[in-house]
A = this chain, B = another copy of it.
Amino acid sequence: MKRPQAVTDLIDELKRLPGIGQKTAERLSFFLMRGKVDQATRLATAIQNIKEKIILCSVCHGITESDPCGICSDTSRNQKQICVVEEPHDVYVMENMGYFKGVYHVLLGVISPLDGIGPGDLNIEVLKEKVADKGIDEVIRATNPDMEGESTAVYISKVLKPLDVKVTRIARGLPVGSDIEYADSVTLLKSLEGRMEMG
């Protein structure tokens, strides 16, 4: 006895999502099946909406409902200070902090030779043009502190070098509230290299 086709279809679609395997897909399907009709409808509508309403900002390549996005069109922000992040999602992580008042540039990925992603696949050339044309003061590289993120940061720094712009990197170091005893040597090294005089 096979599952009804509608159930198999939903399980197959859910399995395409990252981090969702057969068991989780089955559990989610049965949850949606047992739940109220309007819950499933709201979820289906929300999924459709995200593809219909969300576009990429033509300036920063972040996600937005109107182009240019609220950050790129906000004149009260410092449009000459650009924070470079990997994914649109990272913009909101930075914004949650409520401290940064510059603008963003989303690479839409990270250099990863193993996945066949080279610099040409990312928004690096447009970053260079932006810096050259708009008299940018500072480019803060906020890519992830992992191998791909670090290589990408190094690459960006090389590309921007001829343009005589200040290029910085967010600090690597010990997370606040952590314990030196459990820190790995590389993080500890970065934290020592990045040491600052107390004000």
Assuming A4-B53, A5-B65, A30-B89, what are 13 further A-B pairs, CB within 8 angstroms? A1-B74, A1-B91, A6-B46, A10-B49, A12-B46, A13-B39, A14-B43, A30-B87, A33-B51, A33-B54, A33-B88, A41-B48, A47-B47
Q: How many residues of A contact B (CB 8 A)?
A: 55
Given contacts A6-B54, A7-B54, A42-B13, contact A71 B32 (CB under 8 A): no
The yes or no answer to A24 lying at the interface (CB within 8 A) is: yes
Q: List 29 A-B contacts (CB under 8 A).
A: A1-B71, A1-B74, A3-B92, A4-B54, A6-B46, A6-B65, A7-B63, A9-B49, A10-B46, A10-B47, A10-B50, A13-B39, A14-B43, A14-B46, A16-B39, A17-B43, A18-B31, A19-B24, A29-B50, A30-B88, A32-B47, A32-B51, A33-B50, A33-B51, A33-B63, A40-B47, A40-B50, A40-B51, A44-B44
Query: Which of A's residues lie within 8 Å of B, judged by CB?
Result: 1, 3-7, 9-10, 12-14, 16-19, 24, 26-34, 37, 39-54, 63-65, 70-71, 74, 87-89, 91-92, 95, 108
Question: What is the CB-to-nearest-CB distance from A66 to chain B, in angstroms, rounded to a whole number?
Answer: 9
In the complex, the answer to whether B1 meets A70 with C-beta atoms within 8 Å is: yes
User: Which secondary structure dominates chain A's binding surface?
Assistant: helix
A131 to chain B, nearest CB (A): 22
User: Whole-angstrom distance between the alpha carbons of A48 and B44 in the complex?
Assistant: 6
